[in-house]
A and B are shown apart, each in its own frame.
Chain A
Amino acid sequence: MSKKILVVDDSATVRQQLRVTLEQAGFHVVEACDGVDGVQKVQLNRDLSMVIADVNMPRMNGLEMVEQIRRQRANLPIVMLTTEGQPDMIRRAKDAGAKGWIVKPFKAHLLVAAAQKLTAAA
């Protein structure tokens, strides 16, 4: 059965790129448009193997979303995909419970390799 990944970004075109990349690699993809939607989708999809999330989003940002998801799913791997590259932001994500950080634009082969590694361990 395909591993299921949640992609969270307020940009529909970024979610589209992620969906195509991950589905071509054999993953099943669920989408969310912001942090609030992301938390709800985690609650609704108990079989998720991984989350890929933006940081700067309306309603709830990605770091707040990571903290909330951690309360529900302590071991669900979450990787941030964002324009941000500064160490303090990355440290905050790590402290919140994220497992990785990608600075946009993502390289498809690296994203797929990370997804395969993290979902295999989940």
Chain B
Amino acid sequence: MDPANREQLDGFLREKALQLFADYQLPLAETLEPASDAFGESLVGVIGLVGECITATLAIAATQQVLEATFPMGDAVQPEDWMGELANQLIGRFKNELGRWGLDTSIGTPVTVVGSRLALRAGPDVGCLHFDSAHGPVHVWLKAEEIQPFTLVADSTECMAEGDFCLF
């Protein structure tokens, strides 16, 4: 993938991850790559996205403490399900942003993996973002591949924002 596109996609993902967790009252602070890419008991939400120009898989990892802190009903959370929903909402925000830059895509439905010392290795097509929060770390990976060359161009088409609501 064109490095400029990759950098821009990572920037979109960073922005959307920060906004998502802020909306759920858990501010994140980006950190340098952790000493180990395997971490303790955690959950990973995984979801795919595809369009004419791009195919991608997003994975987001967090501990149960983070999930309880973000769930509006606190410890009534069902962790596996909420992890999947956070992955869904993050890729949805990412998808909407791609739409604002001229890329139409579709997203799948999430799955959640639960375990200890889970790790997702960095690679040529994988961008990794690492965050700290008051309740523990959050890690986001995006594996993205170009199906055909594309250029991200800001689109003037209005897209509804998160929390927006309209009646027809």
Q: Do A and B come from one complex?
A: yes
Chain A residues within 8 Å of B159, by CB: 85-87
Contact in complex: A87, B157 (CB < 8 Å): yes
- Which of A40-48, A67-75, A95-103 is found at the contact surface with chain B? A95-103
Q: Which secondary structure dominates chain A's binding surface?
A: mixed
Q: How far is the CA of A85 from the CA of B93 in the complex (A)?
A: 9
- How many chain A residues sit at the interface, stated as a range, is 35 or more
Q: Give the residue of A10, A12, A13, A20 whose beta carbon is less than 8 angstroms from that of B109.
A: A10
Interface size on B, residues (CB 8 A): 36
- Binary interface encoding of chain A residues 79-98 relative to chain B, with 1 for a CB under 8 A from any of its CBs, else 0: 10011111100100010001
Q: How far is the CA of A11 from the CA of B87 in the complex (A)?
A: 11
Contact in complex: B96, A13 (CB < 8 Å): no
Contact in complex: A83, B84 (CB < 8 Å): no
Q: How far is the CA of A11 from the CA of B112 in the complex (A)?
A: 12
Q: How far is the CA of A29 from the CA of B99 in the complex (A)?
A: 34
> Does B95 sit within 8 A of A, measured CB to CB?
yes
Listed A/B pairs (6) with beta-carbon separation below 8 Å: A11-B82, A83-B93, A84-B96, A94-B168, A98-B168, A118-B167
